[in-house]
Structure 1
Amino acid sequence: MMNWEQLLSLKRQGDKNKRLRKEQDETRLGFEVDYDRIIFSSAFRSLQDKTQVIPLSKTSFVHTRLTHSLEVSVVGRSLGRVVGKQILEKHPHLAEVYGYKFNDFGAIVAAAALAHDIGNPPFGHSGEKAIGEYFKTGSGKRYKEQITAKQYQDLIDFEGNANGFKILTESRKGIEGGLRLSYATLGAFMKYPKESLPKKPTKHIAHKKFGYFQNDVSFFKEVAEEVGLLSYKIDNEYTYSRHPLTFLIEAADDICYTIIDFEDGINLGWIEEEYALEYLIKLVKNSINTSKYNNLVTTADRLSYLRSLAINTLIQEAASVFIENEEQILSGTFDIALIDKSKYQAQINDIIKISIDKIYQSKEVTEKEIAGYEILATLLDRYCVATDNFNQDISSNYDKLILRAEGGNFDYKNEDVYTRLIGICNYVASLTDGNALMKFQKIRGLQI
């Protein structure tokens, strides 16, 4: 069974002494420092030009990864506070002996939620698939025999969550431990606390994907052990239970993309207003003020009112499911997303079904995802070929030009093939949509 005192660890990479909650400066709490470090990082800023759902949309306001992350963080903070208040009532020693407050839970969830998409490549989820497919079915499959099975799996199932863990924690010259976040925040960030193999060993929600690359295994284990995640063996490989607060981050993300992607679709005119509002009303029928709603004149105002009610309804519901299942969550046996155990699951599924049909599979999204595949495959191929040729001492003049232009962005001189490849992937994933397009156009000679 996991315990809250360990799970709420304030330790940071490189600490020699224990950080005690009672000794924290209330005006600048360690968990709030995590939030500040993330929001001021260049990786977070780049999310302003990364696709959430509708790639490269310049015609109308839609959510980017940045606005989505901010909204998930706000919802996550509320969820954390609601749950934290009830946990402290249930376990009073956390406040009386250790000094924890309910806002601490909100601060941890807000910081980890803020970073939840920080490792995602350009062009939405198709960006992850484009990187993976370059190594699985594209030119990158030539590396399969040169690296281990797990290393190859890291590449062919390239995962934004694992890349995010690398961004938050990887040491660089002069910067030890990346952003040096508290281990509680890092633990909560780790949505899938396992390696890339075995792939989906069980139906547990934590095994759906993976959470760290092969060259980050040792620090991942340090964080997991510090916060007291439970470890167990599957297929002779160690995997870990989820940090309980991860369920709240996942719920915040689920709530936001369900409601807000739907809202974007309505605002773009892709989903008929009357039809869409009817689905939202079904979700909030128990809390809607009919006379207030009927007095609203514009679609935007009606939508805003229903969205606000829907998010609040789902926050209370997710918090309630968490508290009801706290023991299972602490024992690592709770195996589905909080929203999937919600009494509103049918209404949520109806909304998601419409979003898939009208938004995620729309002509505009599909065409721009196709462009994203071509752009990322081209960049990966140019960087990988130039790096390979350098290490085989057969660089062409073109290879030298590519490395002169980009070589400072990844370690092309490293003797280890996997380290070179994951470094290139990390760099390509760090590009914004616009940046990736510009580099592609330059490589193709379309822009000078």
Structure 2
Amino acid sequence: MKWKKLLSSKRLGRKGTQQEGVRSEYQRDYDRIVYSSAFRRLQDKTQVFPLAESDYVRTRLTHSIEVSSVGRSLGTLIGDFIIKKEHMTDVQPQEFGNIVAAACLAHDIGNPPLGHSGEQAISSWFAGQGKKYLSGLQPEEKADFLKFEGNAQGFRVLSRLQYAIDRGGLQLTYAVLGAYSKYPRCAHLPKFENSEKVSEKKFGFVKADFKLFKKVANELGLTKKNDGAWARHPLAFLMEAADDICYRIIDLEDGHRLGRISFKETEALLWPVAFCSGQKNPGKSYSQIHDEKNKVEYLRAKAINKLVFAAVSTFQNNYKDIMEGNFEHDLMSRSKYINNLNDIKDRSKNKIYATPNVLHIEAAGFEVLGGLLEKIVPALVNVEINNTAADKKVLQLIPPQFTKGKNKYERLLGATDFVSGMTDSYAVTFYRRLRGIELPRG
């Protein structure tokens, strides 16, 4: 893969010359994402903890902004390395940072509401009660629903659903779409089932968007692995690392703030990352902090800084394999902090992710999203064959952009597009009203 193509500032769905001005094309991408309705809805999508517990903890919106900040640092540092290594004279390190920052900003934009179980809730419904609606579909079409994937939905949001009146959705640059795509393959590839390779664990686009992604891959010159799979864009590794760094460290901070994990445990987990493992005296800055919450914030900042440079080092050490499409690991798994991160992961799983309030949100995800699909899918699928009176009423409640499918597969995509784009509050309210539990007022 070559950087001349990998940094393509051409836009999906747009022909003609690029705009002139002070802002680069990648900065314009960042702004387009910020002002999109899909990004704005992340403010009411749970990251881990229910929003009512504390106004301190992160939503998917604040998480995405923090990931973007880390991504910009990673991209700029790696950009400086690449420019020197490849003797590039027509690009600045900051442009690499802008690409990664924009990709990071959008990394959760396709995730459904109600926590991390949202994807599984949708897949489980289609594997169970909704299986009958998949009859007649091709295997590759069925896979899009039986393995519903937020990353693929995100590509769909960015390249098709936002500003659908224009071709190419948000019409982002090919470089940013490439950096966004962690899993550059389609869903139905038996060869890749249960693959341990990092770019093959999940899928990054549905069958309906195959031609769109192929266009992106060809423009960027991504290495082709299979008829439905490509190697990652090198900057996608940085987007993934930024997310890994943030959710490992920041979920721990949120867990401490909510009393799920003690200060002593939190300090013990962050200390070896924030400081050298054997370092007993961290200096005046830390010792002068007396409030435990402020100490955790200090440790969080120091830890993130150390992990950023660790990710940069891993990228540099594996640069050749990354550029040839042969590196199949996330950057943090090959860093010197992997054991520390695994300790944080294990403790978080027991002390943070398995707490009643978190589990209640995830359990509600199965009930609410399954209940919505139970009403919405038949209304869309049966639109041409004797819809019931109830189905017709539901159909009138669905925004028209989700009801225009020309066949069953496209209408099912309309259902998942609609449901996955909901906020937590809207999903719960819509579910309660469809069930007659709550009636609108006024």
TM range (shorter): over 0.9
Q: Which residue in 2 is equivalent to 1:410?
A: 402
Q: Which residue in 2 is equivalent to 1:353?
A: 346
Q: Which amino acid aligns with 1:327?
A: K
Q: Which residue in 2 is equivalent to 1:192?
A: 183
The whole-number CA distance in structure 1 between the counterparts of 2:339 and 2:164 is 50
- CA pair 176-290 structure 1, distance change in 2 beyond 3 A: same
Q: Which amino acid aligns with 1:417?
A: K
Residues 319-356 of structure 1 deviation map (CA, whole Å, 9 limit, x = unaligned): 11101111100001111000000001111110111111
Using the size of structure 1 for normalisation, the TM-score is 0.93
Q: Which residue in 2 is equivalent to 1:427?
A: 418
Say which SS state the counterpart of residue 119 (structure 1) adopts: coil
Q: Which residue in 1 is equivalent to 2:2?
A: 3
The whole-number CA distance in structure 1 between the counterparts of 2:295 and 2:170 is 41
Contact kept? 2:121, 2:370, Cα under 8 Å: yes
**Match of residue 101, structure 1, among 92, 100, 110:** 92
- Out of 294-303 and 75-84, give the one that drifted further: 294-303
The whole-number CA distance in structure 1 between the counterparts of 2:411 and 2:60 is 27
Q: Which amino acid aligns with 1:80?
A: G
| Alpha-carbon offset, residue 18 of structure 1 | 6.6
Contact kept? 1:60, 1:268, Cα under 8 Å: no
The whole-number CA distance in structure 2 between the counterparts of 1:24 and 1:324 is 37
Structure 2: 5+ residue runs without aligned partners? none
**Match of residue 170, structure 1, among 157, 160, 176:** 160
> Is 1:154 aligned to residue 144 of structure 2?
yes
> Is 1:65 aligned to residue 64 of structure 2?
no
> Is 1:228 aligned to residue 221 of structure 2?
yes
Q: Which residue in 2 is equivalent to 1:119?
A: 110
The whole-number CA distance in structure 1 between the counterparts of 2:415 and 2:29 is 27
| Alpha-carbon offset, residue 238 of structure 1 | 3.2
The whole-number CA distance in structure 2 between the counterparts of 1:61 and 1:302 is 16
The whole-number CA distance in structure 1 between the counterparts of 2:225 and 2:165 is 36
> Is 1:339 aligned to residue 329 of structure 2?
no
Q: Which residue in 2 is equivalent to 1:364?
A: 357
Q: Which amino acid aligns with 2:187?
A: S
The whole-number CA distance in structure 1 between the counterparts of 2:212 and 2:186 is 13
Using the size of structure 2 for normalisation, the TM-score is 0.95
| Alpha-carbon offset, residue 62 of structure 1 | 1.4
**Match of residue 310, structure 2, among 304, 310, 317:** 317
> Is 1:110 aligned to residue 80 of structure 2?
no
Contact kept? 1:55, 1:369, Cα under 8 Å: no
Q: Which residue in 2 is equivalent to 1:44?
A: 39
Structure 1: 5+ residue runs without aligned partners? none
- CA pair 372-409 structure 1, distance change in 2 beyond 3 A: farther
Q: Which residue in 2 is equivalent to 1:306?
A: 299
Equivalenced residue count is 433
- CA pair 79-362 structure 1, distance change in 2 beyond 3 A: same
Contact kept? 2:26, 2:102, Cα under 8 Å: yes
| Alpha-carbon offset, residue 368 of structure 1 | 1.8
RMSD (Å) for aligned C-alpha atoms: 1.6
The whole-number CA distance in structure 1 between the counterparts of 2:357 and 2:189 is 36
| Alpha-carbon offset, residue 407 of structure 1 | 4.7
Say which SS state the counterpart of residue 135 (structure 2) adopts: helix
The whole-number CA distance in structure 2 between the counterparts of 1:338 and 1:212 is 23
| Alpha-carbon offset, residue 28 of structure 1 | 0.7
Runs of 4+ in 1 over 6 A off after TM superposition: none
Q: Which residue in 2 is equivalent to 1:395?
A: 387
- CA pair 432-300 structure 1, distance change in 2 beyond 3 A: same
Residues 257-302 of structure 1 deviation map (CA, whole Å, 9 limit, x = unaligned): 0000000100000001111111111112238733221110111210
The whole-number CA distance in structure 1 between the counterparts of 2:296 and 2:419 is 37
Q: Which residue in 2 is equivalent to 1:78?
A: 73
Q: Which residue in 1 is equivalent to 2:86?
A: 91
Say which SS state the counterpart of residue 156 (structure 2) adopts: helix
Contact kept? 1:151, 1:418, Cα under 8 Å: yes
Q: Which residue in 2 is equivalent to 1:261?
A: 251
| Alpha-carbon offset, residue 17 of structure 1 | 4.6
Say which SS state the counterpart of residue 74 (structure 2) adopts: helix
Residues 85-111 of structure 1 deviation map (CA, whole Å, 9 limit, x = unaligned): 11111111x22xxx1110010000000
